[in-house]
C-alpha cells in the first residue's frame, strides 16, 4: 500500500513535470519564431485606421500614435549605416511616422523571406528588391503600384533620371520607386598602363583594344585583365551592343517567351572572353567580383569589371599604391549603339498593409527621393542619385572632386540611348536565368563546350523555365 | 485534481478488500494495472520529445511527401497536383541528377576515409595520459568548436587564388598557383580538404574517447609483451576500437551526404556543378527557385539513399565489429 501511494505520487509529479516541459518548450519555440520571422511588426499597426478611430473615441486631444513603417532592405556594412542615418533623419522630421529599417540579408535571401511572408500579414510595409526581381514582384500581385501614389500626390516624375525611370517603367507605369542604382564600369590600373607604354588617359574601348592592351600589360606575374563570371556582365555586354536579351522587345512589349542568349551578341562576348583566357592575358577567378576586386586592388590584374558602387572601396583599398582609372564598358568593334542597363534595386509598397501605413510608406519613399537625401546616399554609397537635382548639391560636387573617377559612371549613364535593349530585359525567372548563364560562362571558360554550344544549351534551359513561369501567372 | 483524489480513494477501498480467495487474481490484476500505468508514465515523459519530433521532424516529413506530388507557383504556393511528375522529371533529367549524385558520392569518398584515418593516427599518437600530450589533444580537437560557416570563411581566405596563403606556399616551392575554387577539377577536392579539417575535431575526440575506454590492463600487457607500434595498433587497438570506428563511419557518411554550409559559402555548387551535392541542389530548387515540389521529391530520394546506405553498412560491416 505504501508503495502504491508513493508510486501514484510519482505519476502525478511526472505528469506535471512533462506538461511543464512541453509548455516551456512550446513557449520557447514561439518566442524564437517571432524573433526570427516577423521581428519588427507592431501589433498596433495591424488594426485598420477605422478600428483605431473607433477604439479611441474622439476626445478633445486624440493622442496620435505614430504610424509604424517597416522597411526590409539588403544593405550591409557602410551602406547599412547610411540607411540608418536616412531613417533617423526622417523619423526626426516626421513625428507622426516611425520608420524601422531591418536588414534581411542579400537580395536573394531577402526575396526568399518576402515570398514566404507574402499574404501572411507578417511582412514589411516596404521591401527593397533587386532590379531582376521586378517582373516577379509585379506578377505576385502583392504590391500597390507606386504609380497610384504618384498620381494621387501629383508627384513630379520629371525630376528623376530618365534612364532610371526607363528601367522601372512597365506597361507605362511605375510599380516601384528606384532607390539605389548602379552600372558596371571598367576599372584599370593607370600606373601599370604607363609602365607598359600605354596611354593611361586612353583606356581601351573595344573588345579588340582590350585584348591588345592586355597582351602588353601581361608580364612579371601581372595579368592584363580578370573579369568575374557574373551573369550581370553578360546582360550588360548585350546592352552595350544594343541587343536584346529576351524576345518580345526584351520582355517589355509583352511577357518574354524565349531567351536570345545564343544570338551573335552572346557568342561574340564569350568568344572574346575565351580568347583572352587562352592567350593567357586574362585570369579566371570564378564567379565572385569580390575576388577580382581583391586581385585588382593588390595590383595583380590591370583591368577588371565591377559595379560603380565598388568605386569607393577600390579607391580606398588601393590607397596610394597606384592610380585608379575608370572607363566605359567595352564593346565589339563596329557594334550598334548601345549603353548600360541600370542595376541596383527599387522599393515596393506591399498591399497587405493598412492604407494609412502604405501612405506613410509613400511619404518615406518620397523623402528618400529628395535631392538632399539622394546626395547623402550617393556620397556614402557610390550609387547614382536618382534625382537630377542632387548633382547640384555641394556634397555631391565635393565628392566628384575627391573621386573624379565617378564622372565616368555618370557619363556612361547619360550617354546611354534609351531603347528596349538598354532598358534591360524583363522575365519572371531572371535570378535563375542568371545562374544558368553563369554556368554556361564557366563551361566556355573551362573549355568544356564551345561558346555557341554552351550558350545554346543555356538558352534552351532558360526558355523552358520562362515557359513554366508564364503558365503559373497567366 | 478532483478525479485524481477520487481515483485514490477508490483504490484505497480496493486494497482494503484485498484478502481471501481472490487474492491471487487480484495481485495479477493490480500488477497488470501497475504495468499499464507504468507505461502511461513512460509515455508522459516521452510526450515533450514526441511533441518536438512531431513539430520539427514528422510534420515536415509528411509535408514534403505531400509537396513532392505537387507543382508550386513562383511564390511557392501549391498550384496543381503533379502525381509522380516530379520524380519522373528527376530521373528523366538523367545527366544533371547523376552529376549531383556523383559529386555527393565523390565528396563522401574524399572526406570520410581521410577524416577517420587522420583522426585515428593522431589519436593513437597522442592518447597517452602525459601532460605534454594535453597540448596536442587540445589543438587536434579545436576544429570541433568551429562552425561550418566560420571554417569556410577562414578557408576562403586561404584558397584565394592570388592573395591566399595556399598559393603563396606553392609559390615558395616554385609551383604554379592552383585555382582552388574556380577550377572545376579542383573545387571538390578543395572543399573536401576543408571538410576533412573541420570534421577532424569531432572524429579525434570520439576516437580518443574510444582509446581511453580500452582497459589499462591491455596497455600494460602490450607494454610487457612488447609488440611494435604497428602490431599493437592493428592487432589490438583497432579491433578493440571497432565499435567506435563503426559509429564514426555511419555518422560521417550521413554527415557527408548532408553537407551544405561549406558548399554554400565556398562554391555555391559551382564551377560547372562540380560541387553541386544533393543537399545544395535541394536548397537551390526549393529555397532559391521556390519549386518545393521537385525540391521535396529530391529530398525524399536523398532520404531513401541515406537510409539504404546506413542499412547496408549495418548489414555488411557490423559483423566485423568486435563488441567486448
Model confidence pLDDT, tens digit, residues B65-106: 999 999 888 787 888 888 888 898 888 776 778 889 999 999
CB contact under 8 A, A286 and B52: no
pLDDT of residue A474: 65
| Residue in the structure block whose three cell numbers are 554556368 | A439
Name chain A contacts of B3, Cβ cutoff 8 Å. Answer: none
Question: What does pTM read for this prediction?
Answer: 0.79
pLDDT of residue B1: 39
Domain membership of residue A411 (yes or no) is no
CA dihedral of residues B42, B44, B48, B51 (deg, nearest 10): 100
State whether A315 and A222 are in the same domain. Answer: yes
State whether A218 and A281 are in the same domain. Answer: yes
Domain membership of residue A11 (yes or no) is no
Q: What phi-psi label fits residue A234: left (phi over 0), alpha (psi between -120 and 50 degrees) or beta?
A: alpha
State whether A334 and A205 are in the same domain. Answer: yes
| Interchain CB contact of A26 with B (< 8 Å) | yes
C-alpha distance from B8 to closest chain A C-alpha (Å): 8
Domain boundary (A359, A385, A401) is at A401
Q: Which helix (H) or strand (E) holds A436?
A: helix A430-445
d(C-alpha A460, C-alpha A258), whole Å: 8
Alpha-carbon B318 to chain mean position: 18
DSSP helix/strand/coil, A240: helix
Give the single-character DSSP code of A344: E
- Quick check: bond before B182 cis, omega within 30? no
Domain membership of residue A27 (yes or no) is no
Q: Which carries the bigger pLDDT value, residue B19 or residue A232?
A: A232
Work out the pLDDT band at B233, boundaries 50, 70, 90: confident
| Interchain CB contact of A101 with B (< 8 Å) | no
Q: What mean pLDDT comes out for the span B258-263?
A: 93
Residue A367 CA: distances (Å) to CA of A343, B15, B53 = 22, 82, 49
Q: Choose from B37, B49, B162 for mutation: most chain A CBs within 10 A.
A: B162
CB contact under 8 A, A21 and B48: yes
CA-only gyration radius of chain A, Å: 26
Name chain B contacts of A27, Cβ cutoff 8 Å. Answer: none
Nearest residue in A to B73, CA atom:
A472
Q: What is the pLDDT of residues A221-255, one digit of tens each?
A: 899 999 999 999 999 999 999 999 999 999 999 89
Alpha-carbon B279 to chain mean position: 13
Q: What mean pLDDT comes out for the span B186-213?
A: 94
Q: Point out which residues pair with A246 in neighbouring strands.
A: A259
DSSP helix/strand/coil, A352: coil
φ/ψ of residue A423, rounded to 5: -70, -25
pLDDT of residue A25: 43
Domain membership of residue A221 (yes or no) is yes
State whether A335 and A363 are in the same domain. Answer: no
Q: Is residue B2's pLDDT more than 60?
A: no
Q: What mean pLDDT comes out for the span B49-69?
A: 93
C-alpha distance from A442 to closest chain B C-alpha (Å): 6
d(C-alpha A413, C-alpha A385), whole Å: 11
Three state DSSP letters for A242-304: CCCCEHHHHHCCCCCCCECCCCHHHHHHHHHHHHHHHCCCECCCCCCHHHHHHHHHCCCEEEE
Lowest mean pLDDT among A433-437, B3-7, B312-316: B3-7
CB contact under 8 A, B11 and A442: no
d(C-alpha A400, C-alpha A277), whole Å: 35
Nearest residue in A to B36, CA atom:
A11
| Interchain CB contact of A12 with B (< 8 Å) | yes
| Residue in the structure block whose three cell numbers are 597517452 | B128
Between B51, B75, B160, which is nearest A22 by CB?
A: B51
Helices (runs of H) and strands (runs of E) counted in chain A = 21, 12
Provide the angle, in degrees to the nearest 10, between the axes of the packed helices B95-126 and B187-213. Answer: 40
- Which CATH number does the domain housing residue A130 bear? 3.40.190.10
Domain membership of residue A415 (yes or no) is no
Domain membership of residue A54 (yes or no) is no
pLDDT of residue A372: 94
Domain boundary (A362, A384, A401) is at A401
Q: Point out which residues pair with A189 in neighbouring strands.
A: A324
| Residue in the structure block whose three cell numbers are 590591370 | A302
How many domains does chain A fold into?
2
Q: Which helix (H) or strand (E) holds A379?
A: helix A371-381
State whether A314 and A166 are in the same domain. Answer: no
d(C-alpha A373, C-alpha A365), whole Å: 11
DSSP helix/strand/coil, A111: helix
Q: Which helix (H) or strand (E) holds A451?
A: helix A451-473
Q: Which residues of B sit within 8 Å Cβ distance of A? A: 4, 8, 11-12, 15, 34, 37, 40-41, 44-45, 47-48, 51-52, 55, 73-76, 79, 160-163, 179, 181-184, 268, 270-273, 284, 287-290
Name chain A contacts of B45, Cβ cutoff 8 Å. Answer: 14, 17-18
Asked if residue A288 lies in contact with residue A228, where contact means CB atoms within 8 angstroms, the answer is yes
Q: Which carries the bigger pLDDT value, residue B148 or residue B9?
A: B148
Three state DSSP letters for chain B: CHHHHHHHHHHHHHHHHCCHHHHHHHHHHHHHHHHHHHHHHHHHHHHHHHHHHHHHHHHHHHHHHHHCCEEECCCCCEEEECCCHHHHHHHHCCHHHHHHHHHHHHHHHHHHHHHHHHHHHHHHHHCCCCHHHHHHHHHHHHHHHCCHHHHHHHHHHHHCCCCCHHHHHHHHCCCCCCCCCCCCCCHHHHHHHHHHHHHHHHHHHHHHHHHHHCCHHHHHHHHHHCCCHHHHHHHHHHHHHHHHHHHHHHHHHHHHHCCCHHHHHHCCCCCCCCCCCHHHHHHHHHHHCCCHHHHHHHHHHHHHHHHHHHHHHHHHHHHHCCCC
State whether A229 and A319 are in the same domain. Answer: yes
Domain membership of residue A82 (yes or no) is yes
CB contact under 8 A, A115 and B290: yes
| Residue A380 grid cell | 556614402
C-alpha distance from A204 to closest chain B C-alpha (Å): 24
Q: How many CB pairs under 8 A join A and B?
A: 108
The Cβ of residue A341 has, within 10 Å, a number of other Cβ atoms equal to 25
- The gap between the terminal CA atoms of chain A, to the nearest Å, is 75
Asked if residue A353 lies in contact with residue A42, where contact means CB atoms within 8 angstroms, the answer is no
Q: What is the pLDDT of residues A258-306, one digit of tens each?
A: 999 999 999 999 999 999 999 999 999 888 898 899 999 999 999 999 9
| Residue in the structure block whose three cell numbers are 564567379 | A287
DSSP helix/strand/coil, A429: coil
d(C-alpha A350, C-alpha A141), whole Å: 9
State whether A103 and A220 are in the same domain. Answer: no
CB contact under 8 A, B182 and A285: yes
Q: What mean pLDDT comes out for the span B206-218?
A: 90
Nearest residue in B to A296, CA atom:
B162
DSSP helix/strand/coil, A333: coil
d(C-alpha B210, C-alpha B204), whole Å: 10
pLDDT of residue B31: 78
State whether A314 and A372 are in the same domain. Answer: no
CB contact under 8 A, B48 and A25: yes
CB contact under 8 A, A139 and B74: yes
pLDDT of residue B198: 94
Name chain A contacts of B51, Cβ cutoff 8 Å. Answer: 22, 25-26
Asked if residue A246 lies in contact with residue A265, where contact means CB atoms within 8 angstroms, the answer is no
pLDDT tens by residue, chain A, 474 residues: 444 444 454 444 444 444 444 444 444 333 333 333 333 334 334 434 444 444 444 444 555 789 999 999 999 888 899 999 999 999 999 999 999 999 999 998 899 899 888 877 789 999 999 999 999 999 988 999 999 999 999 999 999 999 899 999 998 899 999 999 999 999 999 999 999 999 999 999 999 999 999 999 999 889 999 999 999 999 999 999 999 999 999 999 989 999 999 999 999 999 999 999 999 999 998 888 988 999 999 999 999 999 998 888 899 899 889 999 999 999 998 887 789 999 999 999 999 999 999 999 999 999 999 999 999 999 988 898 999 999 999 999 999 998 888 999 899 999 998 899 999 999 999 988 998 999 999 999 999 999 999 999 999 999 999 998 888 776
Q: What is the pLDDT of residues B108-118, one digit of tens each?
A: 999 999 999 99
Residue B103 CA: distances (Å) to CA of A8, A458, B311 = 57, 21, 22
Question: What is the domain extent for residue A293?
Answer: 184-339+427-473
Asked if residue A139 lies in contact with residue A473, where contact means CB atoms within 8 angstroms, the answer is yes
C-alpha distance from B17 to closest chain A C-alpha (Å): 12
Name chain A contacts of B287, Cβ cutoff 8 Å. Answer: 112
State whether A118 and A159 are in the same domain. Answer: yes
CB contact under 8 A, A25 and B268: no
| Interchain CB contact of A189 with B (< 8 Å) | no
| Interchain CB contact of A159 with B (< 8 Å) | no
Residues in chain B, total: 324
Domain membership of residue A39 (yes or no) is no
Nearest residue in B to A4, CA atom:
B34
Q: Choose from A286, A432, A445 for mutation: most chain B CBs within 10 A.
A: A286
A residues 211-250 near B, CB within 8 Å? 229
State whether A229 and A284 are in the same domain. Answer: yes
DSSP helix/strand/coil, A154: coil
pLDDT of residue A3: 47
pLDDT of residue A30: 37
State whether A316 and A358 are in the same domain. Answer: no
Between A7, A8, A284, which is nearest B179 by CB?
A: A284
State whether A199 and A298 are in the same domain. Answer: yes
Burial class (CB in 10 A: 0-12, 13-18, 19+), B9: exposed
Q: β-strand A126-130 against A67-73: which pairing, if any?
A: parallel
Between B12, B44, B290, which is nearest A15 by CB?
A: B44
Amino acid at each position: 500500500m505504501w508503495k502504491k501511494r508513493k508510486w501514484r505520487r510519482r505519476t502525478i509529479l511526472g505528469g506535471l513535470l512533462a506538461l511543464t516541459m512541453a509548455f516551456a518548450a512550446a513557449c520557447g519555440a514561439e518566442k524564437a519564431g517571432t524573433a526570427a520571422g516577423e521581428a519588427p511588426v507592431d501589433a498596433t499597426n495591424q488594426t485598420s485606421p477605422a478600428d483605431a478611430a473607433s477604439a479611441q473615441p474622439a476626445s478633445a486631444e486624440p493622442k496620435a500614435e505614430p504610424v509604424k513603417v517597416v522597411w526590409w532592405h539588403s544593405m550591409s556594412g557602410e551602406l547599412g549605416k547610411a540607411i540608418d542615418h536616412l531613417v533617423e533623419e526622417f523619423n526626426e522630421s516626421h513625428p507622426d511616422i516611425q520608420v524601422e529599417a531591418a536588414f534581411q540579408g542579400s537580395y536573394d535571401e531577402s526575396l526568399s523571406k518576402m515570398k514566404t511572408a507574402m499574404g501572411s500579414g507578417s511582412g514589411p510595409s516596404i521591401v527593397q528588391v533587386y532590379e531582376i526581381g521586378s517582373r516577379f514582384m509585379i506578377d505576385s500581385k502583392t504590391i500597390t503600384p507606386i504609380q497610384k501614389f504618384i498620381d494621387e500626390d501629383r508627384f513630379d516624375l520629371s525630376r528623376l533620371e530618365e534612364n532610371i525611370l526607363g528601367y522601372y517603367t512597365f506597361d507605362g507605369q511605375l510599380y516601384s520607386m528606384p532607390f539605389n542604382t548602379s552600372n558596371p564600369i571598367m576599372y584599370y590600373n593607370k600606373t601599370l598602363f604607363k609602365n607598359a607604354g600605354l596611354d593611361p588617359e586612353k583606356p581601351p574601348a573595344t573588345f579588340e583594344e582590350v585584348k591588345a592592351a592586355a597582351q602588353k600589360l601581361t608580364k612579371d606575374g601581372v595579368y592584363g585583365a580578370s573579369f568575374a563570371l557574373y551573369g550581370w556582365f553578360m546582360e550588360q555586354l548585350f546592352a552595350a551592343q544594343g541587343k536584346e536579351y529576351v524576345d518580345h522587345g526584351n520582355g517589355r512589349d509583352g511577357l518574354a517567351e524565349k531567351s536570345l542568349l545564343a544570338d551573335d551578341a552572346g557568342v561574340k562576348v564569350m568568344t572574346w572572353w575565351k580568347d583572352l583566357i587562352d592567350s593567357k592575358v586574362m585570369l579566371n577567378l570564378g564567379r565572385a567580383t569580390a575576388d577580382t576586386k581583391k586581385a585588382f586592388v593588390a595590383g595583380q590584374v590591370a583591368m577588371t569589371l565591377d559595379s560603380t558602387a565598388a568605386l569607393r572601396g577600390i579607391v580606398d583599398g588601393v590607397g596610394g599604391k597606384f592610380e585608379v582609372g575608370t572607363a566605359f564598358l567595352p564593346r565589339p568593334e563596329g557594334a550598334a549603339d548601345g549603353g548600360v542597363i541600370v542595376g541596383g534595386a527599387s522599393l515596393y509598397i506591399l498591399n497587405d498593409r493598412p492604407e494609412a501605413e502604405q501612405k506613410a510608406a509613400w511619404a518615406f519613399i518620397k523623402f528618400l527621393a529628395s535631392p538632399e537625401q539622394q546626395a547623402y546616399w550617393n556620397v556614402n554609397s557610390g550609387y547614382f542619385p536618382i534625382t537630377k537635382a542632387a548633382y547640384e548639391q555641394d556634397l555631391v560636387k565635393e565628392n566628384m572632386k575627391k573621386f573624379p573617377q565617378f564622372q565616368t559612371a555618370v557619363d556612361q549613364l547619360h550617354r546611354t540611348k534609351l531603347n528596349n535593349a538598354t532598358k534591360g530585359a524583363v522575365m519572371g525567372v531572371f535570378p535563375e536565368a542568371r545562374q544558368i548563364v553563369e554556368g554556361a560562362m564557366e563551361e566556355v571558360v573551362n573549355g568544356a563546350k564551345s561558346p555557341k554550344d554552351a550558350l545554346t544549351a543555356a538558352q534552351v534551359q532558360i526558355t523552358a523555365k520562362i515557359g513554366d513561369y508564364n503558365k503559373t501567372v497567366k | 485534481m478532483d478525479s485524481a483524489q477520487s481515483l485514490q480513494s477508490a483504490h484505497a477501498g480496493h486494497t482494503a478488500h484485498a484478502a481471501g480467495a481472490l487474492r491471487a487474481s487480484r495481485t495479477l490484476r493490480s500488477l497488470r494495472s501497475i504495468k499499464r500505468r507504468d507505461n502511461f508514465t513512460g509515455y508522459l515523459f516521452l510526450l515533450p520529445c514526441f511533441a518536438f519530433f512531431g513539430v520539427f521532424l514528422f510534420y515536415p516529413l509528411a509535408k514534403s511527401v505531400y509537396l513532392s506530388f505537387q507543382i508550386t507557383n513562383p511564390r511557392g504556393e501549391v498550384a496543381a497536383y503533379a502525381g509522380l511528375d516530379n520524380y519522373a522529371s528527376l530521373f528523366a533529367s538523367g545527366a544533371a541528377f547523376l552529376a549531383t549524385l556523383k559529386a555527393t558520392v565523390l565528396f563522401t569518398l574524399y572526406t570520410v576515409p581521410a577524416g577517420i584515418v587522420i583522426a585515428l593516427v593522431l589519436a593513437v599518437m597522442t592518447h597517452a595520459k602525459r601532460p605534454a600530450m594535453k597540448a596536442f589533444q587540445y589543438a587536434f580537437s579545436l576544429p570541433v568548436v568551429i562552425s561550418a560557416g566560420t571554417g569556410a570563411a577562414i578557408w576562403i581566405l586561404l584558397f584565394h587564388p592570388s592573395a591566399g596563403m595556399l598559393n603563396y606556399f606553392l609559390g615558395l616551392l616554385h609551383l604554379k598557383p592552383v585555382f582552388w575554387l574556380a577550377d572545376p577539377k579542383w573545387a571538390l577536392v578543395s572543399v573536401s580538404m576543408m571538410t576533412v579539417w573541420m570534421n577532424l575535431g569531432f572524429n579525434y575526440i570520439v576516437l580518443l574517447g574510444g582509446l581511453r575506454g580500452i582497459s589499462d590492463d591491455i596497455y600494460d600487457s602490450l607494454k610487457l609483451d612488447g609488440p611494435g607500434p604497428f602490431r599493437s595498433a592493428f592487432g589490438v587497438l583497432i579491433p578493440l576500437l571497432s565499435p567506435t570506428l563503426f559509429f564514426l563511419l555511419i555518422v560521417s557518411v550521413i554527415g557527408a551526404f548532408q553537407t551544405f554550409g561549406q558548399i554554400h559559402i565556398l562554391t555555391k555548387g559551382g564551377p560547372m556543378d562540380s560541387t553541386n551535392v544533393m543537399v545544395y541542389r535541394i536548397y537551390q530548387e526549393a529555397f532559391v527557385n521556390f519549386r518545393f515540389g521537385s525540391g521535396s521529391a529530391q529530398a525524399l530520394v536523398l532520404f531513401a539513399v541515406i537510409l539504404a546506405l546506413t542499412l547496408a553498412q549495418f548489414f555488411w560491416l557490423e559483423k566485423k565489429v568486435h563488441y567486448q
